[in-house]
Amino acid sequence: MRLAVYPGSFDPITKGHIDILERSSRLFDRIVVAVIHNVNKKELFTLEERKEMIREATQHLPNVEVDCFSGLLVDYIVQKGACAIVRGLRTVSDFEYELHMAMMNHHMLPEVDTIFIMSTSKYFYISSSMVKEAALLGGPVGDLVPPNVEARLREKWRQRKEGKGVSD
């Protein structure tokens, strides 16, 4: 049983993440999407909301499950008995950060490798932060996130608009 962990913030999950999951789920027997629980970071969605959105959006992938972790990723990898870390790569700017993280993780846990999957060209520019920024200003993000996530972003936008008394 070859188990891989796909860690991240997923605030929220995008079609780019789903693409990486669809492709990596063909390479491993099981993939655990590990959502980081970082109490110091201000996320738009709560941990439970992020996990729920991932579950809803990955129902077509039977070997994908959703979990969360806090602390060091390598400790979680050992606890799960995983053989690999999956990360998506989009641009050159991703590369430096990802390289450092993969090297640090490899330094701490040499028996586990990070497997990078190149983003599909149509999702190259998608990031959760850009999606959030556009959506919270009322921009169309339906092509960038699964429908369940789009609905939740719309709800956040509506709540903010009402809270600030902004009119259409």
User: Does the footprint of ligand PNS cover residue 16 (CB under 6 A)?
Assistant: no
> Please, where are the H alpha helices in 25-113?
47-57, 73-80, 92-108
Among 4, 5, 6, 8, binds ligand PNS (CB under 6 A): 8
Closer CB to ligand PNS, residue 7 or residue 146? 7
Q: Is 73 in the site for ligand PNS (CB under 6 A)?
A: yes
Nearest Cα neighbor of 33 from 122, 99, 147, 47 is 47
The yes or no reply on residue 135 touching ligand PNS (CB under 6 A) is no
Which one of the listed residues 15, 87, 128, 132 is annotated catalytic? 128
Stretch that binds ligand PNS, among 56-64, 99-107, 109-117, 139-147 (CB under 6 A): 99-107
Query: Which CB sits closer to ligand PNS, 13 or 153?
Result: 13
With contacts defined by CB under 6 A, name the span among 56-64, 98-106, 138-146, 152-160 that binds ligand PNS: 98-106
Instruction: Determine if 148 is a binding residue for ligand PNS (CB under 6 A).
Output: no
Which residues make beta-bridge pairs with 114?
85
Region near ligand PNS per CB under 6 A, out of 2-10, 51-59, 129-137, 147-155: 2-10
CB neighbour list of residue 67: distance below 8 Å, 6 or more residues apart: 32, 33, 34, 35, 51, 80
Q: How far is CA 142 from CA 18, 48, 136, 145, in A?
A: 14, 22, 13, 6
81 CB-near residues (< 8 Å, 6+ apart): 3
The single-letter DSSP state of residue 140 is: -
Look up 17 and say whether it is catalytic: yes
Q: Which two tokens stand for residue 98?
A: 């990802």
Copy the structure tokens of residue 37: 């629980």
Considering the complex, what minimum distance in angstroms separates the CB of residue 154 from ligand PNS?
A: 23
Is 90 among the residues known to form the active site?
A: yes
Task: Write out the two tokens for 146.
Answer: 């699964």
How many residues bind to ligand PNS according to rule CB under 6 A?
9
Catalytic residues: 17, 41, 90, 128
